[in-house]
Amino acid sequence: MQMASFVEALQSDLEQIAAVGDDATSAAAQRLAGALKASAGLRLLDALTEAALELNSQLPEGHVEVRLVGQDPSLVYVEDAPQQAAPAAEDALSVRITLRLPESLKTAVESAAARDGVSVNTWLVRALARAVSGWASRGTGPGNRLKGYARS
């Protein structure tokens, strides 16, 4: 989806509305239209993110992601990977680590765990297992690809 065309349409609408007034009104509208460009793009991205979250709550499985390529977002349906088998005896949960997170990320993780009905520890173990298994299947690390949700 190319957001530039939507932002340019908003700018054009503002300029057409201002054309009804005098030269000072028209000049002010052109300055506002320039300032509106960045803000409108972010607001449209916020709307797409909210739409994806709403769709996710209605899907029986899988989820919708907002992916950015440059400044152009796209909505992508992602099927959830099947649940992995119980860990083998040698993979028993016996290692403890300390993880330092920014407060905002900690809050987001707690919310996600509560939404899934599991403990924060269980949610983190599952998220890490999915990430590692995804990298192993591709044979590479995350590389230059950005994946997930963004908020402005």
Residues 97-147 have pLDDT tens digits of 888 888 888 899 889 988 888 888 888 888 888 888 765 555 544 455 556
pLDDT at 91: 58
Average pLDDT taken over every residue of the chain = 78
> What does the pLDDT look like over 21-30, one tens digit per residue?
788 888 888 7
Residue 146's pLDDT is 59
HSE-CB at 24 with a 13 A cutoff on CA atoms is: 0
- Report pLDDT digits (tens) over 44-56: 888 888 888 888 8
Model pTM greater than 0.75?
A: no
Contact between 128 and 46 (Cβ < 8 Å): no
pLDDT of 83 higher than 80:
no
Strands (E), 43-104: 63-69, 72-78
